[in-house]
Chains A and B, each alone.
Chain A
């Protein structure tokens, strides 16, 4: 197969072409309440071809491998049409030619675990939750993705690589009268099945939080200082800042490009942010991206100053910045886009107690609950929180949404905790692709002021 694909891109009349072919095996086990609503193991396959011609770009996805050649020709022709309509030609940064294979190895590789064990474990976690006091319902999903990929380009790169990950993701729904609350749990995130086994204690704790939330008061709307726990600070730095470090979004937005030049002061010197696809045991870890470029650690903010950006070959050429290896596609039907791998923040020197003691009237927000950004505007939720009054943690609060503007909020990060924590399940939506190969590793942070929207 790979020689055939190399022949197709090699023989194409285009300035540059590449082709990625994937064979993907997926396993899903899902419970809703006590019902096992889905058990499926199956394979899909397909390819994606890209061409740059005369300064223009075209891409195509196809299901039928016998169509690879004709789709590649169509794409080369479309790229030439596209090039003819541009004043400014698109270019690609030079990248090393790589011919290698990059298999994934893990001690308790999920591929060596029986289906029955996966089913039994999912059933076990689901049963643990059902029947607990004030639990209305539960969703428990086991999700496994094993992707074998071949990437070839017209420059001679020919690589085979794998993506292997699994996780258990679930939602515990508690209910009393009209109050209903949802708490999330996630285990796993990479090829290591050991991270999914034996998590009963973690799950019990989540059940307790779901029950306690029924007694919590809704958060009050207004402006407050907050402490974000590592899950929440990871979500914040990923959503609010991380997406703006992805150069493809910035490429065609003149106002933001101006604002986000390397060297721009973004925060206090305690703020250090990076992207690192080589962090061990994190969901966003990989060796090579879907453009045949090796992933490297990129310092994004160094002592409060913007110091780097995430790139494709196209955006690296456009910005005149180094390659980072962040072009990734979630599956065979998608074109790669620039995305974070594992985004992290270096730990600071503040203890959690000191951070709480520094706040007279505010909130401690816990547990990422989805976020959304648009340019410099961000909004995201917390699964629960606690009031902080006169330097002490108070009662539990629920229904929390916080929002703000990125640049002023980054400047308001005034304390950085001394310990980081990683996330166990990726989940990042961009360009219609839900990427689970996306991790975080961050300490708690204090932000002097954000807008809290209560209900």
Chain B
């Protein structure tokens, strides 16, 4: 127990300490050359207190910073009524922590990984301006409360990403993979990257109308962020979520099962407790298309008369960090895979789109389940990819269009970026496409 908690006990009714320390090294190659080695050694603290029934928070670099309790107490005098308590003592699930081999990776190791990845691609194609990045991050997270929570977890993760701009276009092809173990040259990513890059040589624009769309794992955020917005406790509490009062109902196709699984040992992004010190747990969020559970933190759980689901995260849609207040967010989602390899799904399609990214998501009406994006991906005809999409918009409402999922692939992969998700390829039967 950090001495901050002891000091806070005598000054305020309740207190919570969140303290994150990270050390990371990143090697970045651009246009096949080492552009930069970056290192971070950062510490950040968030403190919340409840004093005379009101909530206050403050932030700092270190928990030893003077006057933290008083600062938070002052904030509490202006603060809102606290409608919940900080997390109590709990037993945390056992999640494999920091692997010493991963934590010990040096800038030389990362440079070597980037170079072997570039070499592996260049043996197949030597004409690309490759961006390759390798990173290792070790993290130490402490969440303690005066109510008894004593979370402490150390992790080490490494990841590698590959990208290259498509010639004659502004967009690129990207692949990435992460692990809690040191990575060797990612052969499967290299092969898929080279194959996909080969599909970009020609452009093809489908006709405006409704078409089947195969969403690659990278693009899963397009339907999962609207789903998050509907499951998020705050929207349920305010009844602005289209899923309010729909627990137990069929909201998506029975092909879709979304599991919250943050505790699978050794998996990328696994952790024993959330950002409020509540134990993480494995639960079905959507099972065979039926809504099973909302995502709750301490505040929204209390407002809804339920218990936290361990989903508090210092995240907002496109930002996050220690200075962001906790709110419900997917910790680590996994969508259950299906039977068919995605190449076989493609082979069975007369005309369709394969999408791996969408631009302009955040300007859509996602809280209501909608997205309207410029589709980045490929045009499929006669069971084959015939070219990359050009000037093609795709619009959908997940609560209508994702009721008709025709297939889910046997492969799973990570979503792009900030959402910690393992998803299969998902084939939606009929989606509005605006093209030529």
Contacts and interface: CB of A to CB of B under 8 A. Distances in A.
Interface in A49-69: 56-64, 67
Interface stretch (A104-112, A159-167, A355-363, A396-404): A396-404
B39 A379 contact: no
A369 B363 contact: yes
A289 B395 CA distance: 41
B170 interface: yes
Contacts of A376: 169-170
Contacts of B191: none
B172 to A, nearest CB: 7
A180 B325 contact: no
Contacts, number: 239
A148 interface: no
A44 B34 contact: no
Contacts of B373: 379, 401, 453
Residue in A39, A60, A175, A180 with the greatest tally of chain B CB atoms within 10 Å: A39
Interface string B45-70: 00000000000111111100000000
Interface residues of A, number: 83
Contact of B107 (A81, A175, A181, A381): A81
Contacts of A63: 41-44, 61-62
Interface in B62-89: 62, 71, 74-75, 78-80
Contact of B364 (A40, A119, A401): A401
Interface in A183-242: 221-222
A251, A371, A381, A455: most-surrounded residue (chain B CB, <10 A): A455
B305 interface: no
A137 B36 contact: no
B362 to A, nearest CB: 5
A87 B372 contact: no
A252 B131 contact: yes
Given A376-B170, A377-B374, A255 B359 contact: no
B282 interface: no
B240 A180 contact: yes
B42 A46 contact: yes
Interface string A381-416: 110000000000000000101011110000000000
A40 B57 contact: yes
B364 A381 contact: yes
Contact of A39 (B56, B359, B376, B390): B56
B372 A405 contact: no
Given A42-B71, A252-B131, A434 B319 contact: yes
B177 interface: no
Interface of B: 30-31, 33-44, 56-62, 71, 74-75, 78-80, 107-108, 111, 115, 129, 131, 165, 167-172, 208, 234, 238, 240, 242, 318-319, 323, 325, 357, 359-365, 367-368, 370, 372-374, 376, 390-391, 393-395, 397, 432, 434
Interface of A: 26, 32-33, 35-46, 56-64, 67, 71, 74-75, 78-79, 81-82, 85-88, 115, 119, 136-137, 173, 175, 178, 180-182, 221-222, 251-256, 333, 335, 369-382, 399, 401, 403-406, 429, 434, 451-455
What are the nearest 4 A-B pairs in CB distance? A375-B170, A381-B363, A379-B360, A453-B393
